[in-house]
Homo-oligomer: A and B are copies of this chain.
Amino acid sequence: MAEDKRRSACLYHEMSPFIPDIPVGNTQMNTPNPLTLTTEVPEVVIQRLPLYVRVLTQFAQMGMGVVSSEQLGELLQMTPAQIRKDLSYFGRFGKQGRGYNVKHLSDELRRILGLDFSWNTAIVGMGRLGRAVASYPGFEREQFRIVAAFDANPDLTGMRVGDVVVQPMSELTATVRSKDVRIGIVTVPAAMAQQVINALAAAGVKAILNYAPYSSQAPAGVKVLGIDPVLALQSMTYYLKKQMVSSPVPR
């Protein structure tokens, strides 16, 4: 039977400290050379996993015990085949004829993504945007703990935002290390963004969420992801404009 395409599943299991004891016989670790056979999981797939987690949560709230890839696909607007293929990168989570156990798959995906414990984050830039982001409950709800906040403006030092007190930039490196901050959130003006990103990277932060409307240079080994609602709107207007031309009367 099929015993060749264990590709990235192997890679993954190697990274993972605990292998799930799914009743599936073929966990043969016959990987010839784990360093050469680096068949990575595509980044797009990784980016879709949180989506799967989210809809699984929705299904769980609806009281459903099992879901099929077709049901998932309908909610996510994608083909069942793609979902199955994505999941197959990490193992065999479904049962033929039944589908996927909602709770089990959700837990597995959370574990794969590293969402089974909480991550310490620091936010830099305590202006209007920064305060809004810091007080947004969505992060804490998903186990992202904001454990520190910084701002260059000395007037803001000492101000309480949520559970933390604003610190001056000079304390960034020390605090990041002492509080084991792994994720940085940048909410400073565009002109300051790059230098803040560099400072965070220098302090050892490896993942940064950048709210500044600025195309940043990611320091080596650091993942910087931009969040910019304006960029999103700006690409939608292209399609809006096209529609207007085809039907000039707006309604």
Contact = CB atoms under 8 A, between A and B. Distances in A.
A183 interface: yes
A5 interface: no
A134 to B, nearest CB: 11
A29 interface: no
A200 interface: no
Given A114-B240, A135-B128, A207-B239, A54 B213 contact: yes
A233 B206 CA distance: 12
How many monomers of this protein are in the complex?
2
Nearest to A72: B215
Contact residues of A: prevailing secondary structure? helix
Contacts of A115: 234, 237
A24 interface: no
Interface residues of A, number: 68
A240 B205 CA distance: 10
A212 B65 CA distance: 25
Max chain B Cβ within 10 angstroms of own Cβ: one of A16, A112, A235, A250: A235
Given A15-B245, A207-B237, A218 B113 contact: no
B235 A50 contact: yes
Interface string A135-146: 110110110100
Interface in A141-155: 141-142, 144
A232 B227 contact: yes
Nearest to A110: B234
B46 A235 contact: yes
Given A53-B234, A58-B215, A239-B223, A229 B138 contact: yes
A225 B230 contact: no
A93 interface: no
A231 B128 contact: no
Interface in A208-251: 209, 213-215, 217-218, 223, 225, 227-243, 245-246, 250-251
6 contacts: A50-B231, A58-B214, A114-B241, A139-B229, A182-B250, A204-B251
Interface of A: 15-17, 46-47, 49-51, 53-55, 58, 75-77, 112-115, 119, 121, 128-129, 132-133, 135-136, 138-139, 141-142, 144, 177, 180, 182-183, 204, 206-207, 209, 213-215, 217-218, 223, 225, 227-243, 245-246, 250-251
